[in-house]
Chains A and B, each alone.
Chain A
Amino acid sequence: MQLRIPVALQDENVKCDVRGLEIEVGQQINSGDYIAELRYEVLSDVPLDCPVVLFGDLIAQAGGTVISIATELTGPMGMVIAEIGEETGDFPVTFETM
């Protein structure tokens, strides 16, 4: 399954940084495991008062073995950052904020 950066903002032009990705190839992921911190920043052609940013945590909602991890960890929402398990489709995660 493909682990994607969740679509957390309505804006189309968003840069997302994946930080502290705490998984390794071959590792067993369990539901409820912490995977990474995400920082979203809305990019705008017009200068903003303070650019809109959003921080949160990526939490696994299923189990599986990590097959691969992307080398690029900055990109748009929906970008695949890992393959977990042999099944097809998206690996279920939640984006949790405090």
Chain B
Amino acid sequence: MRLLVIGASETNRRRPPSFGEEVNLSWAQELEANTAVLGQWPTFLMHYLDAEAEGIPFPEAADLTEHGRGLYLYDRGAIYRSRHSTLWNVAMPGAITRSCAFYLKAHMERFQAFAPDAIVICVGSVDCLEHRMIRTTADMSEPGPISAMAEGQTITFEPCQSADEFESALTSISEMLPLIRADARIVHLDIIRSRNRSRSLNAKLKSFSQVIHGVSAQFGHRLVTHPYLDEATEAGIDQWLRTDDGHPTEAMNSQLAMQILHHLLDMTPAAGSNTDFPVETIDIADWSGRSKQCN
């Protein structure tokens, strides 16, 4: 099963290169220190796919604590291969919808060469927080050079401010996805609500969620919703969102991965004869402990 993942830090917390090597090394070490299972829900999903294919029990969070430890998951310039899944995670912290659309278009030929069986997309939540995203050519070129940016250029992406803007941007992305692979299964993650919402932000999150529901229905995409989070009390929300930075907890990452898995179970992945991938492939089957350094 080949998976392409695009979205923001709920999906991949590896920062872009423009933050600087020193800052990123420090951040990788911080993630190591404060995160038991590295790699957010894609780590769980890769192991669930392996377990499903082999008919063995799904691993618990405790079983995954050594996965990728000592590394800085997930490098956008690499494809990660386990026994039964091949995952390319090009999500980036702070990514807003328009930057994801740009990224898809800029690397379209590479994504086509990867030919994913499924594409998981998680956009909109960061737009609601009104983060502008400034990215350099180096940030957007991790999988390889792009023609859309000149050497040393910087682009500022503006968040979608309204549901109408978001619908337009998400529709644009949805129209591009079949170009990657016509029969790829598309799975959207619904908006992940934030802590500490004003009335206005709460309404905005709901309106963006409605856009995801509408666009995914229009295009025949799958949708992963989060009723357990949406219905959680303020006290209960700690089970699903981390208290330090509001990102999904291991319990939520596990939940997300299981929900995505159920959208993939009826698929018959392509034979995978093409393994001439456009970026390096990292085999994770024999990872053991801290054998590699953060870099």
Contact = CB atoms under 8 A, between A and B. Distances in A.
Interface of A: 19-20, 34, 37-39, 46-47, 49-57, 97-98
B200 A37 contact: yes
Given A47-B23, A49-B94, A98 B199 contact: yes
Interface residues of B, number: 25
A55 B197 contact: yes
Contact of A97 (B27, B94, B130, B197): B197
Given A55-B196, A56-B197, 12 more contacts: A19-B200, A47-B18, A49-B9, A49-B94, A50-B93, A53-B129, A53-B130, A55-B197, A97-B198, A98-B196, A98-B197, A98-B202
Contacts of A50: 8-9, 93-94, 126, 129, 131, 245
A96 to B, nearest CB: 8
B19 interface: yes
Contacts, number: 59
B2 interface: no
A49 B198 contact: no
Contacts of B130: 39, 53
Contacts of B131: 50-51, 53
B19 A47 contact: yes
B129 A37 contact: no
Contact of A49 (B13, B18, B194, B196): B13
A20 B195 CA distance: 21
Nearest to A97: B196
Contacts of A38: 198
B213 interface: no
A17 B94 CA distance: 20
A57 B198 contact: yes
B81 to A, nearest CB: 26
A62 B19 CA distance: 46
B201 interface: yes
A56 B93 CA distance: 24
B31 to A, nearest CB: 9
10 contacts: A20-B200, A38-B198, A47-B15, A49-B245, A50-B93, A53-B130, A55-B201, A98-B196, A98-B198, A98-B199
Nearest to A56: B198
B167 to A, nearest CB: 22
A27 B9 CA distance: 44
A51 B159 CA distance: 14
Nearest to B132: A51
Contacts of A54: 196
Nearest to A17: B130
Interface in B11-66: 13, 15, 18-20, 23, 27
Contacts of B18: 47
A55 B94 CA distance: 17
A89 B23 CA distance: 44
A37 to B, nearest CB: 5
B245 A46 contact: no
A32 B126 CA distance: 31
